[in-house]
Amino acid sequence: MDRYWATRTGRWRQALKDHATSPLDERVYQVVRHDIEAGQLPAGAIMPIAQRVAEELAIDESAVDRAYRRLEMEAWLERDKEGVLRIASRRNDDGAQQASVGDQTQIRFEAALFRAVREAAARGLSAQEATGMFKAAMQRIVQIERSRESN
């Protein structure tokens, strides 16, 4: 089963080029940390495995591994009980947990949409057609829920 993953490899690739004077693992660390701090990678989001990121960015996997380990040591990333690497929950200066930009429900919803779009593409539909079908299904669910509430 495919899992949701949060890389923005096009942007990451450009960011790595922009900071070409730094070691590769430092550049990966900086770009991932920036996206976490900016809220672009929401708490709880599953990170892709290092091998996948390395392939997407056409870089050495060990650089991604080193960046991930550093992010994990600094509590930007955390492993769940199954060993899956996720964006860690952050706390405010007063110790309160920050609101997550993407909670687990949103992450699961996005993963389902991603799987549906890929399945539709395998059957010859465009991503736009598949997304339209998904939206229509969601609108139908909303209509059903509204009719239940009014009864």
pLDDT confidence of residue 30: 92
Per-position pLDDT tens, the chain of length 151? 334 444 456 677 777 777 777 888 999 999 999 888 887 787 888 888 899 888 888 899 999 999 999 999 999 999 988 888 989 886 555 544 454 444 556 666 766 777 777 788 788 888 778 778 878 887 888 888 888 887 7
Tokens of 118: 């890929």
Q: Are the C-beta atoms of 56 and 11 separated by less than 8 Å?
A: no
pLDDT confidence of residue 14: 77
Q: Are the C-beta atoms of 110 and 5 separated by less than 8 Å?
A: no
The pTM assigned to this predicted structure is 0.58
> Hey, what domains does the chain have and what are their CATH numbers?
9-87 (1.10.10.10), 104-150 (no CATH)
